[in-house]
Structure 1
Amino acid sequence: MQQRLKTRATALLATAAIVLLGGTFGASAANAATVSPQVIGGEQAPSTPWEVQLIFQQGGSATYGCTGEQINASWVLTANHCVDGTTAMNVYQSNSTSNRGTAIAADRLYSAPSGDIALVHLRTAKALSSYAPLDLAYTTKSSGTGTIMGYGNRANSAPSTGLYQATVNLTGRSIDAYNGTAQHVTGVSGASNHGDSGGPLLVNGKVVGVCSTGDVADPGANTHAGSNYAVLTQSASWIRSTAGV
Protein backbone atom coordinates (compact mmCIF):
# COMPACT_ATOMS: atom_id res chain seq x y z
CA MET A 1 0.00 0.00 0.00
CA GLN A 2 1.64 3.22 -1.14
CA GLN A 3 1.06 6.06 1.28
CA ARG A 4 1.39 9.77 0.71
CA LEU A 5 1.99 12.55 3.18
CA LYS A 6 -0.74 15.13 2.75
CA THR A 7 1.43 18.20 3.31
CA ARG A 8 2.20 19.52 -0.11
CA ALA A 9 -0.49 20.68 -2.48
CA THR A 10 -0.54 22.13 -5.97
CA ALA A 11 0.66 25.58 -6.89
CA LEU A 12 -1.28 28.53 -5.47
CA LEU A 13 -2.91 30.64 -8.11
CA ALA A 14 -2.85 33.86 -6.09
CA THR A 15 0.30 35.67 -5.02
CA ALA A 16 0.19 36.90 -1.42
CA ALA A 17 2.65 38.48 0.99
CA ILE A 18 4.21 36.16 3.53
CA VAL A 19 5.40 38.64 6.11
CA LEU A 20 7.45 36.26 8.21
CA LEU A 21 9.55 35.20 5.26
CA GLY A 22 9.96 38.71 3.91
CA GLY A 23 8.82 37.70 0.44
CA THR A 24 6.01 36.44 -1.71
CA PHE A 25 4.89 33.13 -3.06
CA GLY A 26 3.26 32.32 -6.36
CA ALA A 27 3.32 29.57 -8.94
CA SER A 28 5.77 27.37 -7.03
CA ALA A 29 3.91 27.55 -3.73
CA ALA A 30 1.60 24.91 -2.29
CA ASN A 31 -1.99 25.16 -1.20
CA ALA A 32 -4.56 23.20 0.74
CA ALA A 33 -8.05 21.71 -0.59
CA THR A 34 -9.43 20.52 -4.07
CA VAL A 35 -12.50 18.92 -5.82
CA SER A 36 -14.50 17.41 -8.48
CA PRO A 37 -16.82 18.65 -6.21
CA GLN A 38 -14.01 19.71 -3.70
CA VAL A 39 -11.75 18.20 -0.21
CA ILE A 40 -11.97 15.67 -3.26
CA GLY A 41 -15.71 15.97 -3.71
CA GLY A 42 -17.57 16.93 -0.56
CA GLU A 43 -18.98 20.41 -0.20
CA GLN A 44 -17.92 23.89 0.79
CA ALA A 45 -17.76 24.04 4.57
CA PRO A 46 -19.73 26.58 6.59
CA SER A 47 -17.81 29.45 8.16
CA THR A 48 -15.43 27.85 10.67
CA PRO A 49 -13.36 30.51 12.50
CA TRP A 50 -10.98 27.99 14.08
CA GLU A 51 -10.01 26.24 10.82
CA VAL A 52 -6.83 28.05 9.78
CA GLN A 53 -4.34 27.92 6.94
CA LEU A 54 -0.63 27.28 7.46
CA ILE A 55 1.81 28.53 4.81
CA PHE A 56 5.44 27.60 5.45
CA GLN A 57 8.93 26.84 4.21
CA GLN A 58 10.97 23.73 4.92
CA GLY A 59 14.37 24.95 3.80
CA GLY A 60 14.96 26.43 0.37
CA SER A 61 12.49 28.83 -1.23
CA ALA A 62 9.53 26.51 -1.92
CA THR A 63 6.36 27.32 0.03
CA TYR A 64 3.89 24.69 1.21
CA GLY A 65 0.46 24.54 2.77
CA CYS A 66 -1.23 22.61 5.56
CA THR A 67 -4.48 22.86 7.47
CA GLY A 68 -4.64 23.65 11.19
CA GLU A 69 -7.11 23.97 14.05
CA GLN A 70 -6.82 26.94 16.40
CA ILE A 71 -7.52 25.60 19.90
CA ASN A 72 -7.16 28.84 21.87
CA ALA A 73 -5.93 32.39 21.25
CA SER A 74 -2.26 31.34 21.08
CA TRP A 75 -2.10 27.75 19.83
CA VAL A 76 -2.84 25.83 16.61
CA LEU A 77 -3.03 22.06 16.24
CA THR A 78 -1.73 20.40 13.06
CA ALA A 79 0.29 17.41 11.80
CA ASN A 80 3.91 16.87 12.86
CA HIS A 81 5.10 16.52 9.26
CA CYS A 82 3.90 20.10 8.70
CA VAL A 83 6.42 21.41 11.27
CA ASP A 84 9.20 18.82 10.99
CA GLY A 85 12.03 20.70 9.26
CA THR A 86 9.97 23.87 8.88
CA THR A 87 12.05 27.05 9.05
CA ALA A 88 9.26 29.69 8.91
CA MET A 89 5.46 29.61 9.08
CA ASN A 90 2.56 32.03 8.73
CA VAL A 91 -0.95 31.36 10.06
CA TYR A 92 -4.03 32.78 8.32
CA GLN A 93 -7.39 32.88 10.11
CA SER A 94 -9.50 32.83 6.96
CA ASN A 95 -11.56 30.18 5.21
CA SER A 96 -10.71 31.69 1.81
CA THR A 97 -7.55 30.66 -0.03
CA SER A 98 -7.83 33.62 -2.42
CA ASN A 99 -8.25 36.22 0.35
CA ARG A 100 -6.29 34.98 3.35
CA GLY A 101 -6.20 38.28 5.20
CA THR A 102 -3.43 39.25 7.60
CA ALA A 103 -0.81 36.68 8.54
CA ILE A 104 0.31 35.93 12.08
CA ALA A 105 3.81 34.50 12.28
CA ALA A 106 4.47 31.33 14.25
CA ASP A 107 7.33 31.70 16.71
CA ARG A 108 7.44 28.17 18.17
CA LEU A 109 6.78 24.75 16.63
CA TYR A 110 6.42 21.65 18.81
CA SER A 111 6.30 17.97 17.84
CA ALA A 112 4.18 15.64 19.94
CA PRO A 113 5.89 12.76 21.76
CA SER A 114 3.64 10.27 19.94
CA GLY A 115 2.04 10.35 16.52
CA ASP A 116 1.88 12.76 13.60
CA ILE A 117 0.69 15.61 15.82
CA ALA A 118 2.14 19.08 16.42
CA LEU A 119 1.38 22.41 18.06
CA VAL A 120 2.13 25.83 16.59
CA HIS A 121 2.46 28.87 18.85
CA LEU A 122 1.38 32.26 17.48
CA ARG A 123 3.81 35.14 17.95
CA THR A 124 0.79 37.39 18.54
CA ALA A 125 -2.31 35.95 20.24
CA LYS A 126 -5.53 36.27 18.23
CA ALA A 127 -8.90 35.73 19.94
CA LEU A 128 -11.51 34.03 17.76
CA SER A 129 -15.27 33.70 18.16
CA SER A 130 -14.86 29.94 18.61
CA TYR A 131 -12.09 27.36 18.95
CA ALA A 132 -11.75 23.76 17.81
CA PRO A 133 -13.58 21.38 20.17
CA LEU A 134 -11.26 18.48 21.03
CA ASP A 135 -11.96 14.91 22.10
CA LEU A 136 -8.75 13.76 23.80
CA ALA A 137 -10.17 10.42 24.94
CA TYR A 138 -11.25 9.03 21.55
CA THR A 139 -10.57 5.40 20.64
CA THR A 140 -10.40 4.13 17.06
CA LYS A 141 -13.58 2.71 15.55
CA SER A 142 -14.49 0.26 12.80
CA SER A 143 -17.97 1.63 12.17
CA GLY A 144 -19.77 4.93 12.06
CA THR A 145 -19.04 8.14 10.21
CA GLY A 146 -17.10 11.34 10.69
CA THR A 147 -16.41 14.62 8.91
CA ILE A 148 -13.11 15.77 7.44
CA MET A 149 -12.20 19.35 6.56
CA GLY A 150 -9.29 21.00 4.78
CA TYR A 151 -7.87 23.46 2.30
CA GLY A 152 -6.15 20.79 0.23
CA ASN A 153 -6.45 20.00 -3.46
CA ARG A 154 -9.69 19.02 -5.07
CA ALA A 155 -10.06 16.28 -7.60
CA ASN A 156 -7.25 15.75 -10.06
CA SER A 157 -5.00 18.21 -8.16
CA ALA A 158 -7.12 21.28 -8.87
CA PRO A 159 -6.45 23.99 -6.25
CA SER A 160 -9.21 24.84 -3.79
CA THR A 161 -10.89 28.20 -3.42
CA GLY A 162 -11.54 27.71 0.28
CA LEU A 163 -12.45 25.33 3.07
CA TYR A 164 -14.22 22.08 2.11
CA GLN A 165 -15.64 19.20 4.08
CA ALA A 166 -16.79 15.64 3.40
CA THR A 167 -18.36 12.68 5.18
CA VAL A 168 -16.17 9.60 5.71
CA ASN A 169 -16.62 6.09 7.08
CA LEU A 170 -14.59 5.07 10.15
CA THR A 171 -12.85 1.86 9.08
CA GLY A 172 -10.55 0.75 11.89
CA ARG A 173 -7.19 1.35 13.51
CA SER A 174 -4.14 2.13 11.37
CA ILE A 175 -0.81 3.94 11.75
CA ASP A 176 0.17 7.51 10.90
CA ALA A 177 3.34 8.89 9.28
CA TYR A 178 5.26 8.61 12.58
CA ASN A 179 4.07 5.09 13.44
CA GLY A 180 1.52 6.44 15.89
CA THR A 181 -2.08 5.37 16.32
CA ALA A 182 -4.37 6.51 13.52
CA GLN A 183 -8.02 6.25 12.60
CA HIS A 184 -8.43 4.90 9.08
CA VAL A 185 -11.25 6.44 7.06
CA THR A 186 -12.70 5.97 3.59
CA GLY A 187 -14.61 8.62 1.74
CA VAL A 188 -18.38 8.66 1.50
CA SER A 189 -19.05 12.07 -0.07
CA GLY A 190 -15.38 12.96 -0.48
CA ALA A 191 -11.79 12.22 0.56
CA SER A 192 -8.67 14.07 1.72
CA ASN A 193 -5.93 15.17 -0.66
CA HIS A 194 -2.54 16.93 -0.62
CA GLY A 195 -2.73 20.07 1.52
CA ASP A 196 -5.32 18.64 3.91
CA SER A 197 -2.49 17.55 6.22
CA GLY A 198 -3.22 18.61 9.78
CA GLY A 199 -6.90 19.00 8.97
CA PRO A 200 -9.43 17.57 11.41
CA LEU A 201 -11.42 14.39 11.62
CA LEU A 202 -14.55 15.24 13.58
CA VAL A 203 -16.65 12.56 15.24
CA ASN A 204 -19.78 13.64 17.10
CA GLY A 205 -18.80 17.25 16.48
CA LYS A 206 -15.35 17.07 18.07
CA VAL A 207 -11.84 16.85 16.62
CA VAL A 208 -10.44 13.37 17.31
CA GLY A 209 -7.50 13.32 14.91
CA VAL A 210 -5.49 15.20 12.29
CA CYS A 211 -4.82 14.23 8.68
CA SER A 212 -1.54 12.36 8.27
CA THR A 213 -1.29 10.12 5.18
CA GLY A 214 -3.30 8.74 2.29
CA ASP A 215 -3.50 5.16 1.11
CA VAL A 216 -2.29 6.06 -2.38
CA ALA A 217 0.16 8.66 -3.67
CA ASP A 218 -2.41 10.35 -5.91
CA PRO A 219 -6.14 9.86 -5.23
CA GLY A 220 -7.10 11.59 -8.48
CA ALA A 221 -10.87 12.11 -8.38
CA ASN A 222 -11.63 9.12 -6.14
CA THR A 223 -14.11 10.39 -3.54
CA HIS A 224 -13.89 7.02 -1.74
CA ALA A 225 -10.12 7.07 -1.19
CA GLY A 226 -8.71 6.08 2.20
CA SER A 227 -6.69 8.16 4.65
CA ASN A 228 -5.13 7.91 8.10
CA TYR A 229 -5.78 10.49 10.83
CA ALA A 230 -3.38 10.67 13.78
CA VAL A 231 -5.47 10.15 16.92
CA LEU A 232 -5.07 12.95 19.48
CA THR A 233 -5.54 10.60 22.45
CA GLN A 234 -1.98 9.25 22.12
CA SER A 235 -0.56 12.68 23.06
CA ALA A 236 -3.48 14.03 25.08
CA SER A 237 -1.53 14.94 28.21
CA TRP A 238 1.12 16.69 26.12
CA ILE A 239 -1.53 18.73 24.26
CA ARG A 240 -3.11 19.77 27.56
CA SER A 241 0.13 20.73 29.26
CA THR A 242 1.67 22.50 26.27
CA ALA A 243 -1.33 24.47 25.04
CA GLY A 244 -3.25 24.74 28.30
CA VAL A 245 -6.50 23.26 27.01
Structure 2
Amino acid sequence: MKQRQNLRAATLLATAALALLGGTFGAGAANAATVSPQVIGGEPAPSTPWEVQLVFQQGGTATFGCTGEQLNASWVITARHCVDGTTAMNVYHSNSTTNRGPATAADRLYSAPAGDIALVHLRTPKSLASYAQLDLGYSPRSSGTGTILGYGNRANSVPTTGLYQATVSLTGSSTDAYRGIAQHVTGVSGASNHGDSGGALVVNGRVVGVCSTGDVADPGANTHAGSNYAVLPQSASWIRSTAGV
Protein backbone atom coordinates (compact mmCIF):
# COMPACT_ATOMS: atom_id res chain seq x y z
CA MET A 1 0.00 0.00 0.00
CA LYS A 2 0.99 3.59 -0.54
CA GLN A 3 3.13 5.05 2.23
CA ARG A 4 2.60 8.59 3.51
CA GLN A 5 4.47 11.17 5.57
CA ASN A 6 5.55 10.75 9.17
CA LEU A 7 4.03 12.22 12.36
CA ARG A 8 2.10 15.40 11.74
CA ALA A 9 -0.74 17.46 13.16
CA ALA A 10 -3.22 19.16 10.85
CA THR A 11 -5.47 22.02 11.87
CA LEU A 12 -8.76 22.17 9.97
CA LEU A 13 -10.12 25.58 9.09
CA ALA A 14 -13.80 26.46 8.59
CA THR A 15 -14.99 22.87 9.03
CA ALA A 16 -18.09 23.99 10.90
CA ALA A 17 -19.47 25.45 7.70
CA LEU A 18 -18.96 22.25 5.70
CA ALA A 19 -21.91 19.87 5.50
CA LEU A 20 -19.82 17.27 3.60
CA LEU A 21 -22.94 15.72 2.09
CA GLY A 22 -23.12 13.70 -1.11
CA GLY A 23 -19.90 13.08 -3.04
CA THR A 24 -18.37 9.62 -3.00
CA PHE A 25 -18.83 8.44 0.57
CA GLY A 26 -17.79 4.81 0.66
CA ALA A 27 -16.40 4.87 -2.89
CA GLY A 28 -13.29 3.01 -4.02
CA ALA A 29 -11.13 6.04 -4.87
CA ALA A 30 -8.63 8.32 -3.13
CA ASN A 31 -6.57 7.68 -0.02
CA ALA A 32 -9.11 6.44 2.51
CA ALA A 33 -11.16 4.30 0.18
CA THR A 34 -8.10 2.63 -1.37
CA VAL A 35 -7.09 0.80 1.80
CA SER A 36 -10.25 0.96 3.88
CA PRO A 37 -12.15 -2.25 4.65
CA GLN A 38 -15.87 -2.63 5.40
CA VAL A 39 -17.94 -5.41 6.93
CA ILE A 40 -19.28 -8.02 4.47
CA GLY A 41 -21.92 -10.36 5.86
CA GLY A 42 -22.16 -10.29 9.62
CA GLU A 43 -25.20 -8.74 11.22
CA PRO A 44 -26.54 -5.32 12.24
CA ALA A 45 -24.68 -4.16 15.33
CA PRO A 46 -26.52 -3.21 18.51
CA SER A 47 -26.61 0.46 19.44
CA THR A 48 -22.96 1.49 19.86
CA PRO A 49 -22.74 5.22 20.72
CA TRP A 50 -18.93 5.32 20.50
CA GLU A 51 -18.68 3.86 16.98
CA VAL A 52 -18.90 7.05 14.90
CA GLN A 53 -18.96 8.00 11.22
CA LEU A 54 -16.26 10.24 9.76
CA VAL A 55 -17.10 12.10 6.55
CA PHE A 56 -14.32 14.18 5.07
CA GLN A 57 -12.60 15.85 2.12
CA GLN A 58 -9.04 15.18 0.98
CA GLY A 59 -8.64 18.18 -1.30
CA GLY A 60 -11.20 19.00 -3.96
CA THR A 61 -14.92 18.61 -3.38
CA ALA A 62 -15.38 14.82 -3.22
CA THR A 63 -16.28 13.34 0.17
CA PHE A 64 -15.10 10.07 1.68
CA GLY A 65 -15.94 8.01 4.75
CA CYS A 66 -14.20 6.18 7.57
CA THR A 67 -15.21 4.79 10.95
CA GLY A 68 -13.88 5.99 14.29
CA GLU A 69 -14.14 5.14 17.97
CA GLN A 70 -14.90 7.98 20.37
CA LEU A 71 -12.66 7.82 23.46
CA ASN A 72 -14.10 10.68 25.51
CA ALA A 73 -16.08 13.87 24.88
CA SER A 74 -13.33 15.41 22.74
CA TRP A 75 -11.34 12.64 21.01
CA VAL A 76 -11.90 9.97 18.35
CA ILE A 77 -9.41 7.32 17.24
CA THR A 78 -9.30 6.11 13.63
CA ALA A 79 -6.87 5.07 10.88
CA ARG A 80 -4.02 7.39 9.93
CA HIS A 81 -4.76 7.19 6.21
CA CYS A 82 -8.17 8.72 6.97
CA VAL A 83 -6.48 11.95 8.10
CA ASP A 84 -3.42 12.22 5.84
CA GLY A 85 -4.29 14.84 3.24
CA THR A 86 -7.69 15.55 4.82
CA THR A 87 -8.75 19.19 4.62
CA ALA A 88 -12.14 19.03 6.40
CA MET A 89 -13.90 16.40 8.53
CA ASN A 90 -17.26 16.02 10.25
CA VAL A 91 -18.12 13.40 12.87
CA TYR A 92 -21.60 11.85 13.05
CA HIS A 93 -22.90 10.07 16.12
CA SER A 94 -25.79 8.08 14.64
CA ASN A 95 -25.34 4.38 13.85
CA SER A 96 -27.54 4.98 10.78
CA THR A 97 -25.94 5.95 7.46
CA THR A 98 -29.27 7.09 6.02
CA ASN A 99 -30.04 9.44 8.93
CA ARG A 100 -26.69 10.59 10.30
CA GLY A 101 -28.10 13.40 12.42
CA PRO A 102 -26.20 16.62 13.17
CA ALA A 103 -22.50 16.90 12.46
CA THR A 104 -19.76 17.71 14.93
CA ALA A 105 -16.81 19.35 13.19
CA ALA A 106 -13.23 18.21 13.75
CA ASP A 107 -10.68 20.96 14.23
CA ARG A 108 -7.41 19.02 14.65
CA LEU A 109 -6.09 15.75 13.21
CA TYR A 110 -3.02 13.94 14.54
CA SER A 111 -1.08 11.06 12.97
CA ALA A 112 0.46 8.52 15.35
CA PRO A 113 4.24 8.07 15.51
CA ALA A 114 3.82 4.37 14.64
CA GLY A 115 1.19 2.45 12.72
CA ASP A 116 -1.95 3.31 10.77
CA ILE A 117 -3.46 5.15 13.74
CA ALA A 118 -4.73 8.72 14.16
CA LEU A 119 -6.61 10.90 16.61
CA VAL A 120 -9.36 13.38 15.72
CA HIS A 121 -10.17 16.29 18.03
CA LEU A 122 -13.75 17.60 18.10
CA ARG A 123 -14.19 21.36 17.90
CA THR A 124 -17.15 21.11 20.29
CA PRO A 125 -17.15 18.34 22.95
CA LYS A 126 -19.84 15.70 22.47
CA SER A 127 -20.86 13.71 25.55
CA LEU A 128 -22.02 10.13 24.88
CA ALA A 129 -23.68 7.42 26.94
CA SER A 130 -20.56 5.28 26.60
CA TYR A 131 -17.06 5.48 25.15
CA ALA A 132 -14.73 2.95 23.55
CA GLN A 133 -12.63 1.02 26.03
CA LEU A 134 -9.09 0.34 24.75
CA ASP A 135 -6.66 -2.50 25.41
CA LEU A 136 -3.28 -0.79 25.09
CA GLY A 137 -1.38 -3.88 26.20
CA TYR A 138 -2.63 -6.20 23.46
CA SER A 139 -0.29 -8.33 21.33
CA PRO A 140 -1.26 -9.98 18.00
CA ARG A 141 -2.56 -13.52 18.41
CA SER A 142 -2.74 -16.64 16.26
CA SER A 143 -5.84 -18.08 17.90
CA GLY A 144 -9.17 -16.95 19.25
CA THR A 145 -11.83 -14.66 17.84
CA GLY A 146 -12.76 -11.00 17.81
CA THR A 147 -15.51 -8.72 16.53
CA ILE A 148 -15.12 -6.15 13.77
CA LEU A 149 -17.47 -3.18 13.32
CA GLY A 150 -17.91 -0.76 10.45
CA TYR A 151 -20.11 1.38 8.20
CA GLY A 152 -20.41 1.61 4.44
CA ASN A 153 -20.52 -0.79 1.53
CA ARG A 154 -21.38 -4.43 2.09
CA ALA A 155 -20.90 -7.38 -0.26
CA ASN A 156 -20.32 -6.43 -3.88
CA SER A 157 -20.30 -2.68 -3.10
CA VAL A 158 -23.93 -2.54 -1.93
CA PRO A 159 -24.33 0.44 0.45
CA THR A 160 -25.33 -0.30 4.02
CA THR A 161 -27.98 1.52 6.02
CA GLY A 162 -26.15 1.33 9.33
CA LEU A 163 -23.47 -0.15 11.53
CA TYR A 164 -22.60 -3.84 11.02
CA GLN A 165 -20.49 -6.28 12.98
CA ALA A 166 -18.97 -9.70 12.29
CA THR A 167 -16.98 -12.38 14.06
CA VAL A 168 -13.41 -12.93 12.82
CA SER A 169 -10.59 -15.36 13.62
CA LEU A 170 -7.31 -13.94 14.98
CA THR A 171 -4.68 -15.34 12.62
CA GLY A 172 -1.32 -13.89 13.60
CA SER A 173 0.83 -10.80 13.32
CA SER A 174 0.93 -8.79 10.08
CA THR A 175 1.72 -5.31 8.79
CA ASP A 176 -0.56 -2.29 8.42
CA ALA A 177 -0.59 0.41 5.69
CA TYR A 178 2.33 2.26 7.35
CA ARG A 179 4.48 -0.81 8.02
CA GLY A 180 3.34 -0.84 11.60
CA ILE A 181 2.30 -3.86 13.65
CA ALA A 182 -1.10 -5.31 12.77
CA GLN A 183 -3.39 -8.12 13.84
CA HIS A 184 -4.32 -10.28 10.87
CA VAL A 185 -7.90 -11.56 10.89
CA THR A 186 -10.00 -13.80 8.64
CA GLY A 187 -13.76 -13.72 8.50
CA VAL A 188 -15.97 -16.21 10.31
CA SER A 189 -19.46 -14.68 10.03
CA GLY A 190 -18.23 -11.74 7.93
CA ALA A 191 -15.15 -9.95 6.69
CA SER A 192 -13.72 -6.57 5.68
CA ASN A 193 -14.18 -4.75 2.38
CA HIS A 194 -13.53 -1.29 0.89
CA GLY A 195 -14.82 1.86 2.55
CA ASP A 196 -14.52 1.56 6.35
CA SER A 197 -11.02 2.27 7.61
CA GLY A 198 -10.62 2.98 11.30
CA GLY A 199 -13.33 0.50 12.32
CA ALA A 200 -12.77 -1.34 15.57
CA LEU A 201 -11.42 -4.81 16.22
CA VAL A 202 -12.81 -5.78 19.63
CA VAL A 203 -11.31 -8.64 21.68
CA ASN A 204 -12.69 -9.47 25.11
CA GLY A 205 -14.83 -6.34 25.12
CA ARG A 206 -12.04 -3.87 24.35
CA VAL A 207 -10.82 -2.19 21.17
CA VAL A 208 -7.37 -3.56 20.29
CA GLY A 209 -6.91 -2.20 16.77
CA VAL A 210 -8.32 -0.16 13.90
CA CYS A 211 -8.94 -1.36 10.37
CA SER A 212 -6.07 -0.64 7.98
CA THR A 213 -5.89 -2.89 4.86
CA GLY A 214 -7.42 -5.89 3.17
CA ASP A 215 -5.47 -8.87 1.85
CA VAL A 216 -6.94 -8.39 -1.64
CA ALA A 217 -8.04 -5.28 -3.50
CA ASP A 218 -11.67 -6.40 -3.80
CA PRO A 219 -13.01 -9.32 -1.71
CA GLY A 220 -16.43 -9.06 -3.38
CA ALA A 221 -18.80 -11.16 -1.28
CA ASN A 222 -16.18 -13.38 0.40
CA THR A 223 -17.16 -13.45 4.07
CA HIS A 224 -13.92 -15.31 4.89
CA ALA A 225 -11.54 -12.72 3.43
CA GLY A 226 -8.55 -11.53 5.45
CA SER A 227 -7.60 -8.05 6.63
CA ASN A 228 -5.14 -6.23 8.87
CA TYR A 229 -5.92 -4.10 11.93
CA ALA A 230 -3.28 -1.67 13.21
CA VAL A 231 -2.78 -2.61 16.86
CA LEU A 232 -3.02 0.27 19.31
CA PRO A 233 -0.16 -0.59 21.73
CA GLN A 234 2.51 0.43 19.18
CA SER A 235 1.48 4.04 19.90
CA ALA A 236 0.04 3.55 23.38
CA SER A 237 1.97 6.30 25.19
CA TRP A 238 1.12 8.78 22.43
CA ILE A 239 -2.59 7.86 22.60
CA ARG A 240 -2.61 8.32 26.38
CA SER A 241 -0.78 11.65 26.37
CA THR A 242 -2.68 13.14 23.43
CA ALA A 243 -6.24 12.00 24.19
CA GLY A 244 -5.95 11.72 27.95
CA VAL A 245 -7.14 8.10 28.22
Same fold by TM (over 0.5)?
yes
How much does 1:152 deviate? 2.6
| Equivalent-residue separation in structure 2 for 1:96 and 1:72 (angstroms) | 21
Q: CA deviation at 1:219?
A: 0.8
**3-state DSSP of counterpart to 1:191:** strand
Post-superposition CA distance 1:12-45 (Å, at most 9, x none): xxxxxxx73535532x32139xxxxx92000000
- Cα 1:23/1:69, change in 2 over 3 Å: closer
CA–CA separation in structure 2 for the residues paired with 1:62 and 1:226: 29
Give the total of aligned pairs.
225
Distance 1:22 1:64, change over 3 A: same
Q: Which residue of 1 aligns with 2:167?
A: 167
Q: Distance in 1 between matches of 2:221 and 2:2?
A: 15
Aligned equivalents of 1:231, 1:22: Cα separation in 2: 32
Q: Which amino acid aligns with 2:148?
A: I
Query: What amino acid sits opposite 1:30 in the alignment?
Result: F
Aligned counterpart, 1:213: 213
1:99 has 2:99 as partner = yes
Q: TM (normalized to structure 2)?
A: 0.88
**Unmatched 5+ residue regions in structure 2?**
4-14, 28-37
Which residue of 1 is the match for residue 26 of structure 2?
31
Which among 16, 24, 28 is matched to residue 20 of structure 1?
A: 16
**2:114 maps to amino acid:** S
Secondary structure of 2:191's counterpart equals coil
Unaligned runs of 5+ in 1: 6-18, 33-37
Structure 2 CA distance for aligned equivalents of residues 162 and 24 of structure 1? 18
How far did residue 193 of structure 1 move? 1.4
Q: Hey, what does 2:195 align to over in structure 1?
A: 195
Q: Please, what is the CA RMSD of the aligned residues?
A: 1.8
User: Which TM-score applies when normalising by structure 1?
Assistant: 0.88
Give me the identity figure in percent: 79
The code of the aligned residue for 2:26 comes to N
Identify if the C-alpha distance between structure 1 residues 23 and 100 changes in structure 2 by more than 3 Å, giving closer, same or farther.
Answer: closer
- For 2:81, the equivalent position in structure 1 comes to 81
Q: Taking structure 1 as reference, are residues 4 and 94 closer, same or farther at Cα in structure 2, changes over 3 Å only?
A: farther
Aligned to 2:132: 132
Question: 1:185 and 1:203, CA in 2 relative to 1: closer, same or farther beyond 3 A?
Answer: same
8 A Cα contact 2:53 2:66, kept in partner? yes
Q: Counterpart in 1 of 2:111?
A: 111
